[in-house]
C-alpha cells in the first residue's frame, strides 16, 4: 500500500490534538478505526510515528520527519485542488458537516460524498431534536440537516433555513414475524387498537398526528414506551410493543414492516441548510447525492418498491426540488407534549 494524502492528514491530526482519541473525534472516525489506520501508516513508513501513553501521543523522530513534510505537502495539495476547481469553473466545499435525526440515508450520503471528494472532510452529528440541529446550522456548526417531518410540515420553525424534500413515504407498522397480523399484506390501523407502542424521542407534531389518526380509526393508543431507535426495535422484537417505521428503511431480521391501509400517516424525508450560508451554494450537489442514496436504499427493499408501483405520488420527489421556508407550512416547528414517535 502507498502513502496517501489522507494518511498525512491522520498523522497531523494526532500531532495537533496530542491524542488518538481526540484526533478520531476531529476526523469523524471511531477511535479503533483511526488506531488501525495509524498502524497501517507506520507499517508503510517502517516504524512508529508516536510514543503513546496515558498522557497522550508524542511524535518520534520519524514522526517529526513525516510531520515536517506533511505540513508542506498538505497546504500545497489544498492550493492545487482549489486552483484546479476555479480553473474548471466550479467551487468545492472544504468540509461537509451533517446533522441527522434518525435518517435512513445518512450512511449512503456520506459514502457517496467521501468517494467523490476524498480530499474533503465529512463529519456527522446525531440528535433526537431537529430544533437543536437547526440552531447548530444557523450558528455555523453544521452545514446540512437530514430530518423528517409528517404531512406538509417542516422539522423546525427556526427562520433562515431552506428545506428540500428528498422523498414522501407512508409510515408503516413494524411487527415481529410471529405477530398474528404479520402475514397480512397491509394492516388497518383499527386492528392495532389493543397494541402497546414503542416510540423514539423527538420534537415536532408527529405525536399529535399519530394520536389524531388513531382517533379517526376509533381508538386512543394504549401504553407508549419511549426509547432510542435501537430500544424501539428491541421492544418490537420482544413482542412487547409494535412500532412505526419509515417505509424505505432496510429490512430488520426477525421483524416485518407492513403498510397501514389507506396510508393515514406520511413522512417527508428532508434536506435542510442555512439559506444564507456557504452550504447553500452546494445544496444541489448534496441533494442529488441524497436522492441517489435513497434510491440505493430502495434497491434493498423490494416489498416497498412493489408498494410504490401501485401508489403514485410517494417515493422520490421532483429532483428540481421545491424549497420550503421554515414556518411556511402546517405544523412547522410546533412543539408538543405528546410523544413525537418519529418512525424508526
Q: What is the pLDDT of residues 186-243, one digit of tens each?
A: 999 999 999 999 988 776 778 888 899 999 999 999 888 888 888 999 999 999 999 9
d(CA 17, CA 299): 41
The pTM score is 0.66
Yes or no: say if 272 and 227 are a contact pair by the CB < 8 Å rule: no
Enumerate domains of the chain plus CATH numbers. Answer: 5-87 (1.10.10.10), 95-168+267-325 (3.40.190.10), 170-266 (3.40.190.10)
Q: Are 211 and 338 in contact (CB under 8 A)?
A: yes
| Residue 54 to residue 77: CA distance in whole angstroms | 34
Exposed, middle or buried, 201 (CB in 10 Å: 0-12/13-18/19+)?
Answer: middle
Residue 133 has what pLDDT? 92
> 27 is written with which cell numbers?
476526523
- Residues of the chain below pLDDT 50: 319-321, 324-341
Classify 201 in phi/psi space as left (phi over 0), alpha (psi -120 to 50) or beta: beta
pLDDT, position 341: 45
pLDDT score for 5: 87
Q: What is the pLDDT of residue 329?
A: 36
Amino acid at each position: 500500500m502507498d502513502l496517501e494524502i489522507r494518511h498525512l492528514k491522520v498523522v497531523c491530526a494526532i500531532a495537533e490534538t496530542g491524542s488518538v482519541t481526540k484526533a478520531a473525534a476531529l476526523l469523524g472516525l471511531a477511535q479503533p478505526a483511526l488506531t488501525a489506520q495509524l498502524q497501517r501508516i507506520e507499517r508503510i513508513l517502517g516504524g512508529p510515528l508516536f510514543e503513546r501513553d496515558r498522557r497522550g501521543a508524542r511524535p518520534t523522530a520519524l514522526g517529526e520527519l513525516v510531520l515536517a513534510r506533511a505540513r508542506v505537502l498538505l497546504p500545497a495539495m489544498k492550493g492545487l485542488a482549489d486552483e484546479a476547481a476555479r480553473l474548471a469553473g466550479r467551487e468545492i466545499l472544504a468540509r461537509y458537516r451533517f446533522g441527522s435525526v434518525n435518517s435512513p440515508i445518512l450512511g449512503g450520503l456520506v459514502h457517496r460524498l467521501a468517494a467523490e471528494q476524498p480530499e474533503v472532510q465529512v463529519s456527522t452529528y446525531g440528535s433526537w431534536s431537529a430544533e437543536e440541529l437547526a440552531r447548530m446550522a444557523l450558528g455555523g456548526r453544521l452545514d446540512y440537516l437530514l430530518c423528517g417531518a409528517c404531512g406538509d410540515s417542516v422539522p423546525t420553525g427556526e427562520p433562515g433555513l431552506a428545506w428540500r424534500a428528498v422523498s414522501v413515504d407512508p409510515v408503516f407498522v413494524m411487527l415481529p414475524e410471529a405477530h398474528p397480523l404479520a402475514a397480512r399484506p397491509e394492516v388497518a390501523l383499527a386492528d392495532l387498537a389493543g397494541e402497546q407502542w414503542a416510540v423514539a424521542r423527538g420534537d415536532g407534531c408527529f405525536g399529535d398526528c399519530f394520536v389524531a389518526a388513531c382517533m379517526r380509526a376509533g381508538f386512543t393508543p394504549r401504553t407508549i414506551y419511549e426509547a432510542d431507535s435501537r430500544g424501539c426495535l428491541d421492544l418490537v422484537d420482544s413482542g412487547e410493543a409494535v412500532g412505526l417505521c419509515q417505509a424505505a428503511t432496510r429490512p430488520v431480521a426477525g421483524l416485518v414492516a407492513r403498510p397501514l391501509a389507506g396510508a393515514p400517516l406520511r413522512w417527508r424525508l428532508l434536506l435542510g441548510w442555512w439559506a444564507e450560508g456557504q452550504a447553500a451554494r452546494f445544496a444541489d450537489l448534496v441533494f442529488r447525492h441524497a436522492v441517489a442514496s435513497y434510491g440505493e436504499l430502495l434497491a434493498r427493499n423490494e416489498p416497498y418498491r412493489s408498494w410504490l408501483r401501485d401508489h403514485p405520488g410517494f417515493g422520490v420527489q421532483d429532483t428540481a426540488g421545491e424549497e420550503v421556508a421554515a414556518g411556511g407550512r402546517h405544523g412547522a416547528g410546533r412543539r408538543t407534549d405528546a410523544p413525537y414517535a418519529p418512525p424508526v
